Structure 1
């Protein structure tokens, strides 16, 4: 027997050597990952520096915004002063209206007195506007609040009207400006002049301040004004967008029309190498899409990720924009850099109307991406039963596998989608087809402990596929799975497959499965290829609970192996709880177990076995005087 244990030790030694080699490999892998981590650390440092640069840029833009805020405040004050000037001119007009009963001299003297006070203020405003038109906004200064003391010369000519006529407006010879002067062109504010200025002419704070804002807001008059002021239709904002990109993204078809008429390029590339047509399609603006296509935009142009306008419209679920593109002959099956078609994107987004539109236009329902993902697989993983049913009804291939050879049925079982499973089985999907990872729908359902799905699968297992039942039974994870197998294939469960499942459940402490296997009739004393029972497997792995279940079902506590009893196996491996459970169940080979525990220096096991020997010795000695007793040693 010692020779047999020596052979077992040699086997375990070889196994240890293999694990040592595996450890060495893992160490090398760890070193490689350490190098990769260092590289990522360097990349993070670079990105940190980039972030710091962008932070500085943001600070500069913040300062610029503050300067523009100050400029706005100054213009507000200017507007207020212009309004006051309007009020002063109105007062003059009212004065002239009340003058009809007086002579020329009296009227002229009255006006002279009023205008002597008013004109210095007017001249100060005019002087300031002349300086503002030629001085940068950041350097412009406001005129003093007090009127200048310098004398002002002017002349007034007034004719005496009749009582039924109104006086004409006074002619100010030296102060009237010859033309309107712009206050500030930099921020795009409308021009003002002393003539005709009023509170109602002050521009709105919401008015666009640039060509790009006009394009986004759809303000065609403002757009035309910026263009007439010399702004180029090809100008780009900080992100690389032209005005046409912004108009297309926001569905401003009228703005797009003006820009195209002015020569804007319909195929110019913006951020992510997208054209205006990409922008319009991605945001679902069908009218803008039609205008751009009508202007000659390339419908098959691709962005940086290889997506066409059709793909972007499908990804966003924009059926109207997609319809507009398809009517212009755009392809429905173009692939992006990931190998995904517009149909794949629509399925992943759960856009059923877009899916129906693409399939109706002839999209390939079985086209796989680089990872092998098909539209049907996507409808399962993205939980879209409506699209899933639609694709099956339209003839999608039920057994088309991905890059890991996983079929739609296997994916549905993994995601525990019972309705999907039933529908796929009704369409002829195979419940036993094995993937590259050695998984089948049957084995996965068994491993996951899903009895309901397993019942559905077992009903569709052919007689030639029953071998897969045995393999799947060994992975059973619940009592429901065991009962499902027992109902569908009792001969398999009570045969070799059932015995192997019993050993596995004892070894991995799957108590529920262990009890179910024993209940359906699997032999608790079945032995494997080396003569071990389920008790041996439970003892080696330290599962005292499995030992108690097996003993309660009638398992022989001392086993029948020539390689030692379950107690010896537990003692040799230092499984104290198993030693206690087996001795409580009546294990008799205590001496051999004690030797193994001492040899492997498992002191806790040694103490328990010695106590048991002492108790039995004491009991035997006590009973010798009362009658015959056969001690179990």
Structure 2
């Protein structure tokens, strides 16, 4: 499992397994096992709270602790004096890890402890939660940074109508709001709100009223990225019918991903197939050199991985970390995916 742990950590995907540390208490394993009693005893015995893992991203226990549900580990490490803004090998501090997971208690605890939200590894915390789709975490972070946009009442009413799927009100409000520039509560194109919520009719009404199907947010995501990640097939279909680009690439702050990457990452097979049918490139690579197939294997999206292999995705491409989709699938013991890749390579 060496390269899976390495690849997973390199993408901020700390698995719930500890990595053995010789000659010292294994805080990582204790956290992964949810062993609060053993963890507390190790700290009381003088365990090094800022120790780094020997492989992967050289994570600290605080980073690792953001990946588990129990907030006591993060709280205890902070109280014990853990270094808040220490960065891993990709430049991500603990709050970026918490942002990846969308762990609200961890994010709040780290913010209260003074975590720096400007540090960039594979994005800032705000950029990471936008990419991952963690709306509640995004609200906490932009409120902390005082980044809520000022909006007039009609713009807020338009978003409310979008979320309710009220196409009549959307059409009426288009007389008072520039739909093309209308933004949601976080400053993103309001069309993205419709896409995230799966409001296909609202998507159509907004586009008819002047919304750009390919309008982008601060990380370069379009409404199609959002709909694909959430598996909103009605919205995906409506956007594609309106001419949205199935190969739109986000900004480097969004890891240069396409909607197909998002569908693959989230294991949204139906959305993935709609995108492929519309001409999405299955072999496009993002900032980390990873194709949608590689992202699917990294993220544990087994069905999406199979669908991509069956669709003819190039299985020989290795990302920046050196392993192919077959190697990661083999590490996960996905015999069906490995067999499908082998059969595709023979053909």
Alignment TM-score, normalising by the size of structure 2:
0.54
Change (3 A) 1:218 1:271: farther
| Number of aligned positions between the proteins | 217
SS at match of 1:270: coil
Q: 2:240 aligns with which of 293, 308, 321?
A: 293
Q: Within 5 Å, which residues of 2 pair with 1:87-106?
A: none
Report matched runs for 1:594-605 at 5 Å: none
* Pairs within 5 Å for 1:385-400: 385-395=335-345
Aligned-pair CA distance for 1:351:
3.5
Counterparts of 1:53 and 1:349, CA distance in 2: 26
Q: How does 1:436-585 map to 2 (within 5 A)?
A: none
CA offset at residue 38 of structure 1?
A: 12
Shift of 1:353: 3.4
Provide the C-alpha distance between the structure 2 equivalents of 1:360 and 1:268, rounded to a whole number of angstroms.
31
Q: 1:247 to 1:54 in 2, by over 3 A?
A: closer
Tell me the distance in 1 between the aligned counterparts of 2:165 and 2:260.
25
Residue 47 in structure 1 maps to residue 134 in structure 2? no
Shift of 1:339: 0.8
User: Corresponding residue for 2:224?
Assistant: 277
Aligned residue number for residue 353 of structure 1: 303
Deviation track 1:350-391 (CA, whole Å, cap 9, x = no partner) reads 444322322232211121111111111111333423323332
Relative contact order (alpha carbons < 8 A, sep ≥ 6): 1 or 2 greater? 2
Residues 256, 38 of structure 1: CA spacing in aligned structure 2 closer, same or farther, 3 A cutoff? closer
- Tell me, in whole angstroms, the C-alpha distance in 1 between the residues paired with 2:217 and 2:183: 9
- Secondary structure at the aligned position of 2:181 is classed as coil
Per-residue deviation, 1:271: 4.0
How far the C-alpha of 1:332 sits from its partner, in A, is: 0.8
* Offset at residue 265 of structure 1 (A): 0.8
2:207: which partner in 1?
A: 260
Deviation digits for residues 369-416 of structure 1 (CA, Å, limit 9, x no counterpart) = 11111111111333423323332343379xxxxxxxxxxxxxxxxxxx
Work out the CA distance in 1 between the residues paired with 2:177 and 2:328.
Answer: 51
* Corresponding residue number in structure 2 for 1:226: 173
Contact 2:285 2:292 in 1 (8 A): yes
Determine if contact 2:179/2:209 at 8 Å carries over to the other structure. no
* Corresponding residue of 1:165: none
Please say if 1:317 is aligned against 2:267: yes
Closer/same/farther in 2, CA of residues 187 and 262 from structure 1, 3 Å limit: closer
Deviations 1:54-74 (A, max 9, x none): 55849x99xx9xxxxxxxxxx
Contact 1:366/1:396 (8 A) holds in 2: no
After TM superposition, where is structure 1 displaced by more than 6 Å over at least 4 residues in a row?
43-46, 48-53
Cα 1:53/1:272, change in 2 over 3 Å: closer
Distance 1:263 1:46, change over 3 A: same
Question: Could you tell me how far 1:342 is from its partner in structure 2?
Answer: 0.8
Q: Which runs of 5+ in 1 are unaligned?
A: 1-36, 65-185, 189-207, 398-633
In 2, the alpha carbon distance for the partners of 1:239 and 1:392 equals 45
Deviation for aligned residue 1:262: 0.9
SS in 2 for 1:264: coil
Per-residue CA distance 1:105-134 (angstroms, 9 max, x = gap): xxxxxxxxxxxxxxxxxxxxxxxxxxxxxx
1:307-456 alignment to 2 at 5 Å?
Answer: 307-395=257-345
Query: Quick check: 1:376–1:396 contact (8 Å CA) kept in 2?
Result: no
SS for the counterpart of 1:266 is coil
Which residue of the other structure, out of 184, 188, 201, is the alignment partner of 1:237? 184
* Rounded Cα–Cα distance in structure 2 between residues aligned with 1:47 and 1:209: 30
Distance 1:300 1:266 in 2: 13
Structure 2 unaligned segments of length 5 or more: list them: 1-82, 88-92, 94-112, 120-139
Contact residue 335 and residue 342 of structure 1 kept, 8 A: yes
Supply the distance in 2 between the matched residues of 1:53 and 1:391 (Cα, whole angstroms): 42
* Structure 2: distance between partners of 1:38 and 1:277: 35
Secondary structure of 1:379 counterpart:
helix
Deviations 1:181-202 (A, max 9, x none): xxxxx767xxxxxxxxxxxxxx
C-alpha contact (below 8 Å) 1:317/1:346 kept by paired residues: yes
- Structure of greater Rg: 1
Q: Given that residues 224 and 246 in structure 2 are in contact (C-alpha distance below 8 angstroms), is that contact kept between their aligned partners in structure 1?
A: yes
* 2:197 aligns with one of 231, 237, 250: 250
Give, in angstroms, the shift of residue 301 of structure 1: 1.1
Q: Which structure has the highest helix share of the two? A: 1
Do the aligned partners of 2:161 and 2:167 also contact (CA within 8 Å) in 1?
A: yes
- Match of 2:219, SS state, is helix
1:245 CA displacement:
0.8
Deviation at 1:254, TM superposition (A): 0.5
Query: Retained in 2: the 8 A contact 1:227–1:233?
Result: no
Structure 2: distance between partners of 1:355 and 1:52: 32
1:320–1:49 distance in 2 versus 1, CA, 3 Å: closer
Q: In structure 1, what is the Cα distance between the partners aligned to 2:168 and 2:226?
A: 23
